[in-house]
Structure formats: structure tokens, C-alpha cells
Amino acid sequence: MDYPFAPPTALDPPDEWERLRAECPVSRIRMASGDEALLLTRYDDVRTLLADPRFTHHLTKPGAAKVADSESGGVFNDPGFASDMTSGEGHRRWRRMMSRSFTAKRVDELRPRIEEIAHGLLSEMDNPGDLIAALGFPLPVSVICELLGVPEEYRDRFSHWSDAMLNLTRYRQDELNTAAAEFRAFMAGHVRAKRENPGDDLISELTVVVDSEDGRMSELELIATAQGLLVAGHETTASMIGKMVAMLLTDRSRWERLLADRGLIPSAVEETLRFDANPNFGIPRYVSEQVTLGDETIPAGSTVITNLGSANRDACAFADAADMMLDRRPNPHLAFGAGPHSCLGQALARVELQTVLAVLLDRLPGLSLAVEPGELRRREGLIVGGLEELPVRW
Ligand code: HEM
């Protein structure tokens, strides 16, 4: 079976998901690179596998299947750069250090700035216009710059570096390497500047926090951390802003319901994350020893792809899984992964999505799609799935 599957529309899931969940929970697939892997589609299997330390980040393993023809780096799979931070004890140490500095308080303090950034971007937006280009794409990069203490004038360059480092098709390998090198050179200077003259930002805090057991982050680790946050936090959030608004506008009653009850914003955001039928590829893992999963045996040396979108539509885990319920609670979706590598930035992503939604409801209550839902197109070729554009009017 060729993978990924073609979905019927930009927002609907491929038919294969339901069939595979029912009939073939561990299926053999062929990826764009021509290499083979195993695909998991059930909620319980996906969650179990992501929490199992025997399944590791796959690109660091020689012999692992290639997911795409040209594989870029990024936080998900950077084989060469500070790779001791991405698995095992090095990863646990990094997560401990990050959780001390990248706190809920720090994230919450960004809320007013995120609101301000959203208003600023919307003031510049054309009517009709593309919500992804005007708001979805620039907002998360500005927020990451705020988080890292990067001055305003570098934001366009940040955006370019991020796009190039994550994009799997639009850039050639040499362009991608140039972007990564420029980014690292900039961050090296930024880290040194923050060490000499700390501010109220994550990099400053990480340069000064010393823990007796974990020590302090080295300059290379700080640069890798900044790169990881940018690559993991930009395109993901940008795409999700577009998909969230699209899902809420394609059925106008959803938008009206939120206009009538803003208290639904947090649960509505969670439900759009669960309902997202377009998280594209899934999360790859590699297993070096034979593992049994339910009735299935996964041989040593396998690359396994966990399809988060399919898991989130599994009727065994969610009542009325095919319905979007803006007040669904609890909602233990897997959009942020699970286990030791689950999304480190999920609190920030939630605040960004909630803030964007609140600002849009307040400022543009008459917002509507400027095209038929069937005309929305998926953005192909990225690790993270998204829409090409989201034409709206108000
Ligand atoms: C809606 C937006 C987002 C989605 C859907 C998302 C999704 C994910 C997923 C599925 C993973 C797990 C990857 C794996 O298991 O290999 C992950 C990891 C990660 N995410 Fe997010 N993410 C989002 C936003 C963010 C933001 C805003 C940041 C930070 C600025 C961030 C930082 C990270 C980091 C650092 C990791 C790696 C964690 C680790 O390996 O320990 N993400 N994200």
C-alpha cells in the first residue's frame, strides 16, 4: 500500500483509516522514498507504542526506512546535530531542564503579547484575504521570537529559516543546509549576547539556570534547543490555525455556537486538534528488538509510523468519533503525541490557538469562507499537514 493515503477532501479523512482500524491495525506500507514501514491506526496501539521506550526516534538508527526522498532535520529527526539530546538519558536531562524554564507561567505571560500580535496582523489583512498567509504563518514565528528574546527585525529571516529547515520538497538540500547554518550562526551570537546581558526570555533563563545534577546547557545545546522550538513550533501551529478556522467555518453552526458561548473556546480548540484529519504523515519510530503489540509481532529493525489522525478518530476511544463536538470532555486526543517525546510546546500551542480564536470571534464575528469548502487544497510534501491557503471574508 502506498502511503500517505489521498484524502477525499482537504478536511476529511481518507477511507483507509476506518478500514485499517477495523481489519488491519498493523499494515505494511510503502513510503515516498520507496522504503517500507508498518503503519498503526488504532488509538490504543498508537498510544502504547509512543509510550514504549523500545521505540526510538527512527532517523538516528542506521538501517531505518527513509520516510521521504529528501529528509530534513528539525526537532523530530535531526541525525547529526546535538543528537544526544533527542534520545535516552540525554533527552531526559534536556526535558528536565526545559520543564524548569519553559513553564506554564512563562507561557501564560505570553498571552497578552499573542493577542497584540494577532490584532496587529489582522489590521494589515485584506478583505477578502488568505488567513494563513496573513495570520497563521507569521503569528507563531513572532511568538517563538518573543519566547527566545529575538529582536523584531529578525522575524522575517526566522520565518524563512524555519520554512527551509522543515520543508521536504520546496528547497534543495544545499538551500536547506544554508538556512540551518545561517540560523545556527545567528543563534550562537544571540546566546552569547543573552549570556552577557540577560533579559526576561527563555534563552536568558536557560543560560543562567544551573542544576547540581544536570549542569547548564552548553552553547550547542542552546542553539539546538532554539532550532528545535522553531522547527517544531512554527509550521505545526501555523497549519493548525488554518485548519482550526477552516473546520469551524465549513459548518457555520460551529462558529455561531462559539459566538454565543466563548466559554467553549478551550474545549473547541481541543476538539479541532482531535478532529484534524490532516496531520499528514504521522510520527515515525524505529524498533531494534522484536515487540509484540496485541496479536501482532513487530520484527526487529522495523520502522513504524503512528497515524495520530486515525487514532483520534477511533470509535473505541471516542464516543461519536466522527462527530465534531465543541464541548467534548474529556478529550484525550493524541494530536500532541504521547509518552516521553510528547509535545513540549503543547501549553504554548493551546494558548496560541485559544487566543487566535478569541481574537477572531471578537474582531471578525462575520468571518466566513470566501470559497466553497471543496475548493480548499491540502499543502502537500511537509511533515506537518496543512492547507495551501484559507481564503476568508467578513
Ligand atoms: C498545534 C501545534 C502543535 C502540534 C500539533 C504539535 C505536535 C507535536 C507532536 C505530535 C510531537 C511529538 C513528536 C514525536 O513523538 O516524535 C511534538 C513534539 C514536540 N513539539 Fe510540538 N506541536 C505543536 C506545537 C508546538 C510548539 C508551539 C512548540 C514550541 C514552541 C513545540 C515544541 C515541540 C518539541 C520541542 C517537541 C519534541 C519533544 C521531544 O522530543 O521531547 N510544538 N509536537
- For residue 311, report the phi and psi dihedrals to the nearest 5 degrees: -55, -40
- Residue 214 in this model has a pLDDT that exceeds 70: yes
Q: What is the pLDDT of residue 279?
A: 74
Domain extent listing, the chain = 15-393
Strand partners, 378: 387
Considering the entire predicted model, what is its pTM?
0.95
Report DSSP letters for 366-388, one per residue. T-EESS-GGG--EE-SBSS-EES
- Residue 80 in this model has a pLDDT that exceeds 50: no
- Residue 76 in this model has a pLDDT that exceeds 60: no
- Residue 270 in this model has a pLDDT that exceeds 70: yes
**CB of 335 closer than 6 A to ligand 1?**
yes
Q: Give every CB contact of residue 46 below 8 A, 6+ residues apart in sequence.
A: 40, 306, 307, 308, 310, 311, 334, 338
CA of 115 to the centre of ligand 1 (A): 22
Does CATH number 2.102.10.10 belong to domain 15-393?
Answer: no
Q: Where are the alpha helices (DSSP H) in 234-286?
A: 235-250, 252-260, 265-275
The arithmetic mean of pLDDT across residues 225-244, rounded, is 92
* Ligand 1 atom with the shortest distance to the CA of 334: 10
- For residue 57, report the phi and psi dihedrals to the nearest 5 degrees: -55, 125
CA of 127 to the centre of ligand 1 (A): 32
More confident residue, 120 or 281: 120
Closest by CA to 39, choosing from 300, 305, 297, 314, is 305
3-state secondary structure of 364: coil
More confident residue, 43 or 176: 43
- Residue 72 in this model has a pLDDT that exceeds 50: no
State how far the Cα of 223 lies from the Cα of 229, in Å rounded to an integer: 10
Q: What is the mean pLDDT of the chain?
A: 90
**CB of 349 closer than 6 A to ligand 1?**
yes
**pLDDT confidence tier of residue 207, bands split at 50, 70 and 90:** confident
Burial 122-132 (b: 16+ CB within 10 A, else e): beebeeebbbb
CA of 347 to the centre of ligand 1 (A): 10
Which cell numbers hold the place of 75? 526537532
What does the pLDDT look like over 133-172, one tens digit per residue? Answer: 999 999 999 999 999 999 988 988 988 898 888 765 677 8
**CB of 232 closer than 6 A to ligand 1?**
yes
